[in-house]
Structure 1
Amino acid sequence: MSVMTKTAPRRTKPRVADSVFAFAIGCVATAVGVGLGLPHLMKVGADLAGVAGLGCLVAGLLLLGAGGVALVRLVPGWWRVLAVPALLAIVLVTVMALGQAVAATNVPDTSVGSRTPGSHGLEFTEVEFATADGVSLSGWYIPSANRAAVALLHGAGSTRSDVLDQAVVLARHGYGVLLFDARGHGRSAGRAMDFGWYGDQDLSAAVTYLQSRPDVEDARIGALGLSMGGEEAIGAAAADARIRAVVGEGATNRTTADRAWLSHEYGWRGTAQEGVEWLTYKATTLLTKADEPIALRAAVAAIAPRPVLLIAAGAKPDEAYADLYIQAGSPGTVQLWVVPGAAHTAGLRTDPGQWEQRVTAFFDTALG
């Protein structure tokens, strides 16, 4: 009589491919959740995009946990000590690069708010004009008293109301001012893109509108932009000679080439950051119909001999580094003012007297 013995079932290790797949999908889902869910939830609440993004984030973290643990278990011996930081580094780079790309191409709705030029005692008109690709943009126009005008561009995730203080200064010196919402922001139609890659088309349409005004001379039009708006103004002026002068405050980067100074200033850390930026912009090209624009350093060279004034935040050293790199594209035509102690785009608030004197003197000279 034979004796049947039972053996314990062998514990099978998870397949490498399954673990890698779960970890990879977890990285992507987490990045999408961070880039989509968090901005929407913080800015507009539990809308569809915010809830979907939160769902992606939760699912991504679960997959990261399951896939990451499985991968670490597959690593033999003391090599596991190296596997954990390696996997964490992959997660960090993916979230930083893809998360930024998703956030820049899936922008929450922005409200214009209740303030208008009229709140400052200024006469103004509600205006609308269309871009070459058929997008309707909305703005305010303050009439010119000196036959010159400035298109005023706001930063990412904001609207025309966020540049009202700058408009008041320009209007006080007689300039016509066109404050308009970038596409997808405020009351403008279209899909928002917070790297400013639609800036050429939007600003070109604004200049065409200004040229249609009887109070503005065609050859006396400038542009002033903050942050993303400054980058848009510089890039658009490179392709549109009708823009006779540009002021860009807080304008630093919107392409990989704009970050080439990082390795020079910060060594290996800068080189690593350049790599993350490269991944960010490459991912962005897959998520938007907009073409990647000209680098800012190349743009100022194309703008010459027309003048450019860059304004950098003294409290943000990287802004000065970035602007010095941009200025090197055309040192003879690009001025740089670093505002001591100023935060990003806070030059007017930090030193209103100097800001008014420098900016208006620049436009007075450039626009006659």
Structure 2
Amino acid sequence: MPALVADDHRGGHPLRWGSLGLIGAWLALSIGLGVALPRAGQVGSTVLTVILGLFGLTLLVWSAVALTRSLRWWSLAVIPALVVLLASGVYSSSIALAAAHPPHPVRSGTPDGAREVRFSSEAGVMFAGWFLAGDNGAAVIVRHGAGSTANDVEAHARVLNEAGFSVLATDARGHGLSEGHGMELGWYGDEDITAAVDEVLGRAHPAISAVGVLGLSMGGEEAIGAASSDPRIRAVVAEGATGRVAADKWWLSETYGLRGSLQNLLDAGTFTLTDLLSPAEMPGSLDDAVRMLPQHTEVLMIAAGTVADEQLVAERLAAAAPSQTSVWVASGADHTGALTTDRHQWRERVIAFYQDALLTPPRGSVTGQRIRVRHRAGSGSTSGSLRYCSQQTGPGVNPTASQCRCTAA
């Protein structure tokens, strides 16, 4: 009889039951870590997390015993390999479940002096947020990170508003008071921020003529993605942005060698599974988004001084568009903690950046001047191709092929 076939006289086909037990352990641990644990604050979720965890571990031990009984002694080396495979599977599937089907964070109340707003995307998703009116004719859309709401970025919004900027802080889809299905990797962010830009530049705020975006962590990644496809966004501050697809992580193998390569393999499985589980469409990489930025759009990357990977990502993205991207490493700051660590420096750098980008004419804004822009798909030229155009239709707005005379760069 082959070594990896259960001995019938031992009864119950231990190999078969052991293998099924491993699959059961994978499912129980993945659901416990990826679905129940993120909801641990909700009634019953903590208990469910403990039950699934204990059940999964029990199945794991039982499966190991069953497999030990069914395999020849010289085949027992398969068991450690199966345990490693199980651990990798639980890692990828639990992260994928947590990202694709997250809990809905609650936002209660509106900050003092702010006006609650509601607006919809072209797809009909209703978004919520709050608005602080400024007096300098420019607005900044502020996006929070995963698992939080607009109220978690109030401190950042206050600093911007004190400098004269109007601020629209929005709850991401499936967060706070916004409707829809949440996605903790920010895959809906490009579309959602475009809806916020529509709101800011719409009839509700006629005095605003220039728009920027400030995003923390997931919000920073969303901001970069949105700016690459919406030429109305003239400035982006992305703090703590690292990546939202597997392609954003390929640098790990170059930097960390074998350890980075193993992480890349895990990430490939994680993001593939996330794509299968989530109704959201997987976006392109941040590298591609930076390269696709309209010529007039500027980006400030803020990296935590205590997080080396954030600094590496920021430098790599800046290298993709060096004339449009700058980097500030906030000394001593943790992830998205630059404002808390050094309020004065954050204010000086971020306000100066937005004043330069939003309160002065954008590059190529003089009518009749030949400027360099990137047209988007459907504009009459190849998506992302660099063209020379003879006129600009307004501050921060890319002309389409029908609005200008284009020649290839």
Instruction: Give the TM-score, by structure 2 length.
Output: 0.81
Are 1:295 and 2:291 an aligned pair?
no
Aligned pair count reads: 350
Aligned match of 1:4? none
Give per-residue Cα distances to partners, 1:223-274, cap 9 Å, x unaligned: 0000000011111111111111111000101000000111011100000011
Give distance in 2, aligned partners of 1:145 and 1:117. 19
Are 1:224 and 2:224 an aligned pair?
no
Give distance in 2, aligned partners of 1:124 and 1:199. 23
Report the Cα offset of residue 325 of structure 1.
Answer: 2.4
Match 2:229 to one of 239, 250, 268: 239
Conservation of the 8 A alpha-carbon contact between 1:307 and 1:334: yes
Aligned match of 1:16? 15
User: Which of the pair has the greater relative contact order for Cα pairs under 8 Å at 6+ separation?
Assistant: 1
Conservation of the 8 A alpha-carbon contact between 2:221 and 2:242: yes
Report the Cα offset of residue 55 of structure 1.
Answer: 4.8
Aligned match of 1:248? 238
Aligned match of 1:26? 25
Conservation of the 8 A alpha-carbon contact between 1:154 and 1:225: yes
Give per-residue Cα distances to partners, 1:2-34, cap 9 Å, x unaligned: xxxxxxx94347253443232123213311211
Amino acid at match of 1:231: E
Question: Where does the alignment leave 5 or more consecutive residues of structure 1 unmatched?
Answer: 1-8
Amino acid at match of 2:258: W
Conservation of the 8 A alpha-carbon contact between 2:14 and 2:67: no
Match 1:335 to one of 308, 314, 326: 326
Are 1:326 and 2:317 an aligned pair?
yes
User: Relative to structure 2, which stretch is displaced further, 180-189 or 63-72?
Assistant: 63-72
Question: Where does the alignment leave 5 or more consecutive residues of structure 2 unmatched?
Answer: 1-7, 360-409
Aligned match of 1:187? 177
Are 1:366 and 2:357 an aligned pair?
yes
Report the Cα offset of residue 307 of structure 1.
Answer: 0.8
Give distance in 2, aligned partners of 1:90 and 1:10. 29
User: Relative to structure 2, which stretch is displaced further, 320-329 or 246-255?
Assistant: 320-329
Amino acid at match of 2:73: G
Give per-residue Cα distances to partners, 1:182-204, cap 9 Å, x unaligned: 01111111111111111011101
Aligned match of 1:46? 44
Are 1:214 and 2:205 an aligned pair?
yes
Report the Cα offset of residue 69 of structure 1.
Answer: 2.5
Match 1:277 to one of 267, 270, 292: 267
Give distance in 2, aligned partners of 1:27 and 1:322. 32
Report the Cα offset of residue 60 of structure 1.
Answer: 2.9
Report the Cα offset of residue 57 of structure 1.
Answer: 3.7
Give distance in 1, aligned partners of 2:80 and 2:173. 41
Match 2:111 to one of 109, 114, 117: 117
Amino acid at match of 1:268: L
Give distance in 1, aligned partners of 2:84 and 2:320. 35
Give per-residue Cα distances to partners, 1:76-97, cap 9 Å, x unaligned: 22542x3343223112211211
Give per-residue Cα distances to partners, 1:287-323, cap 9 Å, x unaligned: 1110001211110111142111110111111111222
Aligned match of 1:3? none
Match 2:255 to one of 243, 265, 268: 265
Are 1:71 and 2:67 an aligned pair?
yes
C-alpha RMSD over aligned residues: 1.9
User: Relative to structure 2, which stretch is displaced further, 94-103 or 152-161?
Assistant: 94-103
Are 1:92 and 2:94 an aligned pair?
no
Are 1:352 and 2:343 an aligned pair?
yes
Match 1:201 to one of 191, 200, 211: 191
Instruction: Give the TM-score, by structure 1 length.
Output: 0.90
Conservation of the 8 A alpha-carbon contact between 2:133 and 2:165: yes
Amino acid at match of 2:231: A
Match 2:301 to one of 297, 301, 310: 310
How many percent identity over aligned positions? Answer: 41
Amino acid at match of 2:44: A
Give per-residue Cα distances to partners, 1:120-173, cap 9 Å, x unaligned: xxx321100011221111110111210000000000000001100000110011
Amino acid at match of 1:31: S
Give distance in 1, aligned partners of 2:68 and 2:256. 32
